[in-house]
Structure formats: structure tokens, C-alpha cells
A = this chain, B = another copy of it.
Amino acid sequence: MAEEPSEESAPGSTERVLTRRERARAATVGEIKQAALSLMREHGTTDFRFSDIARIMGMTAPALYRYFADRDELLTALIVDAYDDLGAAVADRRDQVPRDDPGGRFHLVAQAYRGWARSEPTRFALILGMPVPGYSAPEEGPTTEAARRAMAQLKSLFYDAAEQGLLDEPTFDLDAGPVSQFVDGREDPMKLGDEADLPAVTFQAMVHCWASLHGFVSLEAYGHLDWMPEDVRDALFIASMRHIADSAGLPAPKTTIS
């Protein structure tokens, strides 16, 4: 198995070149994941059978255990990939607008988040809707870590904006108690790097934005908003996002939204 314990390419070190075998292995791992995804998409569930994956790949099922110890390990890999992919989609779209337009950035972030969920419903279900039977979410495992990274992409624009002094005063009531204490006296576990600290009230507003965005997208992804036509949902989403962006003190978008 993984006989490369400490490949930890230290920052600055050259990325070790992969041997022929390592490349083949990586390719197979990728193919397995792709097969699992296509099965999931096909059946519209987050379930898959090892035997089906093998059949698609022209292999037999036991061979897959050379690459993943068990079903859960493959599932975990898929979840991590999904989070990373979502995070990347959000970051890409966000960076299409300059840093000095945090309002515009927020809008694109929200759009990307929603768009990804709609275009990849089964993968979204994989990370949003936990319970894959038998899959006991590894507490504090790699999936939690991946989720943190993805969500950090949402948050970085707030830190960015605060750093540039582009945030107005949020319309939130500042909670002078626990929240202030928490925000003021901590090592922020969500920070990506060395961003500026946020005022407590902005922190409140940021979490609120995240939760609202996530809530709308979740409801929509599970079909709980199917009773309204798509154009109504679209308009409602835009209005909601604009509203929470305002509340959080984000300036109005400079860039026209596509």
C-alpha cells in the first residue's frame, strides 16, 4: 500500500516526479472515482456498488481493494474531492472580480455555490446530506478538514474586504457578550493565512451570510422550493443575497452581475 510515508513535499521542495507505476496507480484511482460518480449520477443516489464500478472498468470487484481499503474509504475520498471542487469553483468565480469590489465578489461566490449545487446535485447531496447508510462520518477526519477549507473560500472575501477597509458598519445588533469575547480573544481557526481580524459584529454578519446562503441552496437542492418556478427562485435568491450582503456591510457590487 502506501509505502511512501513521508512524501510531504515541504514548502519549496521540488514536487517529486512520479514513477511509471505511481502514475498508473493515480490514474486508476481517478478512474475508480469517476466510475463511482457516474454511477451515482446515473442512479440519482449517493450509493454505488463496488461490483458495478469494477464492471464499468472491465475489472473484477476485489481488485478495487488494492486502491481503497473499503467502501467508506472511497466514499471519504469522493466527499473530500467534492468539497475541494466546490471550494475551487467558488474561488475561481470569486477571483473574476477585483479584490476592491467585495460586494461583487460576494455575489459571484453565492452564485457559484448555488450553481455548483445545481449542476452537481448528487455530489452536493454527498457533502450536504450526510447519511450514507453505514457510513459513519469520521469525526474530525479528512472530510471535516475539507469542509473547513471549502467554507474558508466563502469567508476569505470578508477578511479581504476588512483588510482594505471596504466594510461599512453592518446593520446587525452587536452582541456585546459571548460573541465579542470569542472574536476578540482567539486564534481564529478559520483563517487561511494572515488576514486581518474581523470586528465582532462583522463576524456575526459573516456567519449569518454563510448560513443564509447555505440554507437557500440546501432547500433548493432537495427540491423543497420546487413549488415555485425557476425564474421566481432566481429572483428570490438574488434579492436574498443582496439583502444579506447589505446587512453585513458589504458595499454594493461595482461590477455588473452576469
Interface residues of A (CB under 8 A from B): 43-47, 125-126, 128-136, 139, 144, 147, 151, 171-173, 175, 177-179, 182, 189-190, 204, 207-208, 210-216, 218-219, 222-225, 227-229, 231-232, 234-236, 238-240, 242-244, 247
The CA-CA distance from A179 to B233 in the complex, in Å, is 8
Say whether A218 contacts B229, CB under 8 Å.
Answer: no
Say whether B189 contacts A227, CB under 8 Å.
Answer: yes
Contacts of A242 in B (CB 8 A): 173
Say whether B236 contacts A175, CB under 8 Å.
Answer: yes
Contacts of A173 in B (CB 8 A): 239, 242-243
Contacts of A136 in B (CB 8 A): 43-45
Partner of A182, one of B144, B212, B232: B232
Contacts of A125 in B (CB 8 A): 130-131
The CA-CA distance from A139 to B147 in the complex, in Å, is 29
Q: Taking the full assembly, how many copies of this chain does it contain?
A: 2
Q: Nearest B residue to A147 by beta-carbon distance? A: B224
The CA-CA distance from A28 to B198 in the complex, in Å, is 56
Contacts of A207 in B (CB 8 A): 225, 236, 240
The CA-CA distance from A234 to B177 in the complex, in Å, is 11
Say whether A236 contacts B132, CB under 8 Å.
Answer: no
Partner of A129, one of B131, B177, B212, B231: B131
Contacts known (A144-B223, A178-B229); A204 close to B133, Cβ less than 8 A = no
Partner of A131, one of B46, B214, B215, B224: B46
The CA-CA distance from A220 to B100 in the complex, in Å, is 32
Contacts of A130 in B (CB 8 A): 46, 125, 128-129, 131, 222
The 5 sampled A-B contact pairs (Cβ below 8 Å) are A47-B131, A130-B222, A175-B235, A178-B232, A179-B239
Say whether A46 contacts B208, CB under 8 Å.
Answer: no
Across chains A and B, which 7 residue pairs bring their CB atoms closest together, nearest first? A215-B215, A47-B133, A129-B130, A46-B131, A129-B129, A211-B215, A211-B216
Q: Nearest B residue to A189 by beta-carbon distance? A: B227
The CA-CA distance from A144 to B219 in the complex, in Å, is 12
Contacts of A212 in B (CB 8 A): 208, 211-212, 215, 244
Partner of A135, one of B45, B126, B247: B45
Q: Nearest B residue to A221 by beta-carbon distance? A: B130
